[in-house]
Amino acid sequence: MAAPSFASGYQFTNTLNSLNRDHSLTDFVIDLVFQSMKGLDFLRQREMVDEVDGGLAATWTVNVGKSPNTVWYAGDQDLPVGSINNNVYTAALDWKFLDDALVVLFTDVLMNDGSPDAVANYVTAQLDITKMSIVQGLATAWITNTFLLNPLAVDGLAGSIDNGTVVPTYAGIPVTAGAVGNLWGCATQTNYNVTGSLLGNMQTLDVAAQIDNARPDFYMTNRLNYASVIALLTTLDRYIQPDLARTTGSVDVSFNSGPLFIDSNVPTGVVSPSTGAGSGGFIYGLNSRYLKLVVLRGAYFDVEEWQKSQTNNTYFTRIHLGCNLVNFKPAAHWVLWNSGG
């Protein structure tokens, strides 16, 4: 590898260039790559992240049936005595692992460290970008991934909020129509509609997802669907007393008292999972009570100590993530594909 020539960029033959330095307008790096990941941010802010110690899998227990022995009776009427051994299931998800690495040149570190011309610290800036890269990987997968799409990535909302249209099972339990699937899956919470009835269908799905006095408490979608919601809400604007001032448009929207926000990782311009046609996008209604990002202790974006390469003058570190997204009760959420996107 030829040695880089940085000096040529600073060899000036006029007075102005020779007596003046470039002036950087910022002391930080402006990012043009990473997208909004509001859904993941919300998950972490609401304490919906659990660090746990080991285990071969993430498991939880669910009931899928009632006792067959509950009966009204009179006198010496025979009473049923039936087994309920098949009413309790164990849901299980494998741990998923994500990794990233950063390599820095010792010579670059020397030229940057302490320089009065440095815009930002070389190592800190590069490490921040590496951290953002691994976070972005999780921010995308926790929404869009299924075990059929990428079995190595986390089990995302696309596979856990479903009625068998996308995947046949979630956590080893059927989501397709049937005695168990009708309880575990989201047969009534998946809808595909047109923009004109968007708010009405969102309301219908929200009512259907109310369980045990708990209902979805946050909502997320992409920019196109967000704009569709705003357009429908704007037509409902009213003049505000006492001065009859009219405020049109908004960036902070609540639906049924829960925040609705944009997450760039929610798919846009995708075909309907039901028909395989169209070009819309998704809106999710989510209940934070039944969602949890479970992380293995020691692998929650943990950064290793820096190590020196044995073959050249570079240093490297790795960042580790071991986790999975657990949807304890899929029927407590809903997803809508909006063809009007």
Please write the tens of the pLDDT for every residue from 82-131. 888 888 889 999 999 999 999 988 888 888 777 776 667 778 888 888 88
**More confident of the two residues 190 and 224:** 224
Contacts of the segment 175-180: beta carbons below 8 A, 24+ positions apart: 175/330, 179/64, 179/65, 180/64, 180/89
User: Do residues 334 and 219 make contact, with C-beta atoms less than 8 angstroms apart?
Assistant: no
pLDDT at 105: 87
Host domain of residue 186: 38-58+92-338
d(CA 191, CA 327): 19
Q: Is residue 22 part of a domain?
A: no
pLDDT at 271: 77
Q: Is residue 31 part of a domain?
A: no
Please write the tens of the pLDDT for every residue from 305-336. 999 988 999 989 999 999 999 999 998 999 88
In angstroms, what CA-CA distances link 71 with 64, 78, 79, 87, 281?
A: 19, 10, 8, 18, 48
Q: Mean pLDDT check: name the lowest of 244-248, 262-266, 293-297.
A: 244-248
Mean pLDDT of 165-176: 88
Q: Is the pLDDT of residue 66 over 80?
A: yes
What percent of the chain is modeled with pLDDT above 90?
A: 31
Q: How many domains does the chain have?
A: 1
Q: Is residue 197 part of a domain?
A: yes
d(CA 322, CA 300): 7
Q: Is residue 117 part of a domain?
A: yes
Q: Is the pLDDT of residue 223 over 60?
A: yes
Q: Is residue 71 part of a domain?
A: no
Q: Is residue 209 part of a domain?
A: yes
d(CA 221, CA 207): 19
Q: Is residue 21 part of a domain?
A: no
**More confident of the two residues 20 and 218:** 218
What percent of the chain is modeled with pLDDT above 70?
A: 79
DSSP states of 169-201 as a string? EETTEE-SSSTTHHHHS-TTTEEEE-GGGHHHH
Q: Is the pLDDT of residue 297 over 80?
A: yes
Where residue 16 falls among pLDDT bands split at 50, 70, 90? low
pLDDT at 30: 59
Task: Output the pTM of the full model.
Answer: 0.83
Q: Is residue 30 part of a domain?
A: no
Q: Is the pLDDT of residue 215 over 60?
A: yes
**CA dihedral sign, ordered 31, 35, 41, 42:** positive
Please write the tens of the pLDDT for every residue from 182-202. 778 764 444 455 555 788 888
**More confident of the two residues 227 and 177:** 227
Please write the tens of the pLDDT for every residue from 135-168. 889 999 999 999 999 999 999 999 999 888 888 9
Assign residue 312 the CATH number of its domain.
3.90.1690
